[in-house]
Structure 1
C-alpha cells in the first residue's frame, strides 16, 4: 500500500543542494508533514540535516555515459519505495515514468520542468549543430509519449505552457521566487563599488561581458570597482576565465567564490551595490525570468540586466533598476558610473524592488500553489 505522506523526489543531473529543489520544494514539503526521500548528485559539500528530509547521494561524474546507470538506480529505488508521490526534475527521467506507472498505477507522478528543454537544445554548444533540430524533434516525440504517464507538470515559467497545451495532465506554474527573508542590513563601504552576479557561470550568461566590463572600469577608475562571481562553472571555462583575469591583472578586482550554499549568498548581497544579469538573447532566456532578478530585489539591490522585452517591462514596472544590451559595454559602464556617483539616489531602486518582492515575488506564494495543487494540502 502506498504511503500518502511520503514523497520520492529525484534528479539525475542536479546536485543535492540545488536551490529550487532542496531549499525550496523539498524543505517546503518536509515542513508540510511529508516524509521526503530526495535523490540527487553528490558535489562534495556537507549534507544539511533537515527534519523529514533524507538526502540520498548519487556519485558525481563528468561523463554523460554514466547517466543510464543513474536512471536504472533511480528506477530501482522508485520501484522499491512505498511513496505515493514521485517528483522528477530532469527531462531524461521522463523515460522512467511509463514503466513506473505500470508498476504503481495509483501513484502520483509529477514532472518539474525547470527549463523548456526542447527549445534549449538549439543553443547547446556540446551538440553538433547539424544534430540539434533532429534531436529536438526526437525529444518532442519522447515527451509526448512519456508525459502521458504524468498526473501533473510543474512549469517554472508560464511561457512554457504554450508549448505543452496538448498534454492532458494537470499543469501548474510554480515560479522560482526566492524564499522569504527579512530585509538585509546593507554593509556598504565607500569603495570599492561592488558588482555581483550569482548563478551558473557560462559564456551565454555573460561571463566575458562582465569581465570586460570590470576590466574597462578598472582602467578608468583604478581600485574603485570590484566584481563578485558566485556560482558553478566548468573546469574548461574556469581556465579561460582565469587566463583573462591574469592577462588583464584583475586578481584583486574579480573575486570568484564557486558554488555557495543558498543561505550564505545573502551575506554576499549585503556587501554589494549592484546586481548584474547580463544574459545573452538566446530563446530560452528570452522566454523566462531569471531567478537572480528576484533575489536582487529581495536583497534590496538595484539591478542592471539585459534588455529583453519582458525583463525591461518587469524592471521598469517595479522601478528596480535599468537594462541595456549585454554587448554594449560603453552603455553598461555609463549606467554603473551613474549609480556609483549617486548611491543614495539609486538605493531607492533597491528599496522599490524589495517592496515588490515582499508583496508579490517570494517563495511562500509559490509554495502554497505547489502544496495545494500537487499534494492536496489546504
Structure 2
C-alpha cells in the first residue's frame, strides 16, 4: 500500500477529524501514514507502528509563509504518493506540487472557506467583503488541481458542484464508542459542557449568562467550557466569572488533549451548542451534536432547521433560541429537574450514534476513494 502524508499548518497534530479519525483509520487499514501539524503540550507516544507524527511550532499568519515553503519541500521529496491537506492556506502548495510532481493530492474541507471569513477578524477588524470575494475566486481557480475533495458537510457539494474535481462526503461522525457511561454517576450536581472553538458567535457569552441564571436560581450545576479562543475573549470570560461569583461553578480551559476531553465527556450530562444564526452554522450540522450523542450527553442546541430536525428525529436533545437566554434557562432547568426525562434523551442519543451516526461508514468511503486513486 502507498504511503500517505497528511499536512496542516493550522490544526493541532491530534485534531479529532484529522488524526483520531482520518489518520488512525488509514493506519489501521494498512497504510503507512505521516502527520505533520501544529504541536501541543501533548507528545505523540507512537501507539501505532504505521503512524508517525512530526510537529511544527504554532506561527502567526503573517509568518506562516515559511511553513508553507517547508511543507512544499517536505511534500516534494516525501516517498508518499498521496497527500492530504487540511487548510485552505495550503492551496498554493498543492498547485505547485501538481505542476512539478506526479503526487495525488486530496483536500479535506473542514469548512466553507470564503463564507467563514465573513465572521473572522484580523485583530479587531473583519475582512472587507471584497477581499472575501477575491479569495473565493482564487479558490475556484486552484481547487481543480486537486485529485479529490473530502466534504465535512453534505451541503458543500452544492457550493462546489461546479468544480471539476471528484468530491465525496466524509461527515464528522465520531468513532463508535465502546463504553460511554462508565464515569457518569447519579449526583445532585448536573454537569454541563461545551467543547469547541470559543467565539462570540459560538455562544460564549450566552453560556456564561446561562451559568449566572442557574446560580441565581440555586440550581446545582457545573459548566466546563473547553476550546481555543482569543486571549481577549478568555480574559473577558474570566472577568465575568469573577464579577458574578461563578468560580465554583464555571471553568474555562483553552486547550485539552482529546484523551482528557473524552473523560470530561464521559462525566457530562448536558452539552451546549448555543451558536448564533450565521449562514455557515445554519447550513451545517455541528459535529459536537454527534459527539454529545456518542457519550450519552443531552444536547441543548440552537433552533436551526437542520439541528431541530436531527434532534427531533433522534429525540436526543432540545433546541432553543440562543438569543433568548431566559428560554434557554427554563429549558435547561427542566432537564436538571426531570432526571428520568434527561436520561431517556441520553439513551436515545446513544442508540442513534450506534445505529447511524458513527465513523465506520465514513471510514469506508475514505478507503474506497484512496484505493481508486492508487489504481
Please, which of 226, 229, 232 is the counterpart of residue 225 of structure 2?
A: 229
Q: Residues 370 and 294 of structure 1: is their aligned pair in 2 closer, same or farther, counting only changes over 3 Å?
A: same
Distance 2:292 2:161 in 1: 33
Aligned counterpart, 1:59: 57
Aligned counterpart, 2:258: 262
Structure 1 stretches of at least 4 aligned residues deviating more than 6 Å after TM superposition: 127-130
Residues 119-141 of structure 1: per-residue CA shift (max 9 Å, x gap) = 11111133787843212222122
Residues 314-359 of structure 1: per-residue CA shift (max 9 Å, x gap) = 1011111110111111111111111111111221111111111101
2:223 touches 2:251 (CA, 8 Å); kept in 1? yes
Distance 2:298 2:58 in 1: 37
Residues 42-84 of structure 1: per-residue CA shift (max 9 Å, x gap) = 12322231321111111122x2111111100000001111211
Residues 221-246 of structure 1: per-residue CA shift (max 9 Å, x gap) = 15x12111222222222111111111
Please, which of 194, 204, 222 is the counterpart of residue 197 of structure 1?
A: 194
Distance 2:38 2:326 in 1: 41
Moved more, 266-275 or 211-220: 266-275
Which runs of structure 2 are paired with 1:358-377 in the superposition (5 Å)? 358-376=354-372
Aligned counterpart, 2:31: 34
Q: Does residue 339 of structure 1 match 2:335?
A: yes
SS in 2 for 1:158: coil
Which runs of structure 2 are paired with 1:87-98 in the superposition (5 Å)? 87-98=84-95
2:17 touches 2:172 (CA, 8 Å); kept in 1? yes
Distance 1:314 1:184 in 2: 21
Aligned counterpart, 1:77: 74
Distance 2:332 2:126 in 1: 40
Aligned counterpart, 1:280: 276
Please, which of 121, 125, 128 is the counterpart of residue 125 of structure 1?
A: 121
Residues 76-122 of structure 1: per-residue CA shift (max 9 Å, x gap) = 001111211011000111111121012213x2110110000111111
Q: Does residue 310 of structure 1 match 2:331?
A: no
Q: Residues 280 and 104 of structure 1: is their aligned pair in 2 closer, same or farther, counting only changes over 3 Å?
A: same
2:118 touches 2:127 (CA, 8 Å); kept in 1? no
Q: Does residue 43 of structure 1 match 2:43?
A: no
Distance 1:171 1:234 in 2: 33
Q: Tell me by how many angstroms 1:260 deviates.
A: 2.0
Residues 117-175 of structure 1: per-residue CA shift (max 9 Å, x gap) = 11111111337878432122221221122112111011100111111111111110100
Distance 2:228 2:289 in 1: 18
1:15 touches 1:41 (CA, 8 Å); kept in 2? yes
SS in 2 for 1:23: helix
Aligned counterpart, 1:7: 4
| TM-score with structure 1 setting the length | 0.94
SS in 2 for 1:40: strand
Moved more, 345-354 or 253-262: 253-262
Which runs of structure 2 are paired with 1:94-109 in the superposition (5 Å)? 94-105=91-102, 107-109=103-105
Q: Does residue 17 of structure 1 match 2:7?
A: no
Backbone CA RMSD of aligned residues: 1.8
Q: Tell me by how many angstroms 1:276 deviates.
A: 0.8
Q: Does residue 114 of structure 1 match 2:110?
A: yes
Q: Does residue 246 of structure 1 match 2:211?
A: no
The total of aligned residue pairs comes to 372
SS in 1 for 2:8: strand
Q: Tell me by how many angstroms 1:264 deviates.
A: 2.7
Distance 1:193 1:83 in 2: 48
2:224 touches 2:250 (CA, 8 Å); kept in 1? yes
| TM-score with structure 2 setting the length | 0.95
SS in 1 for 2:64: helix
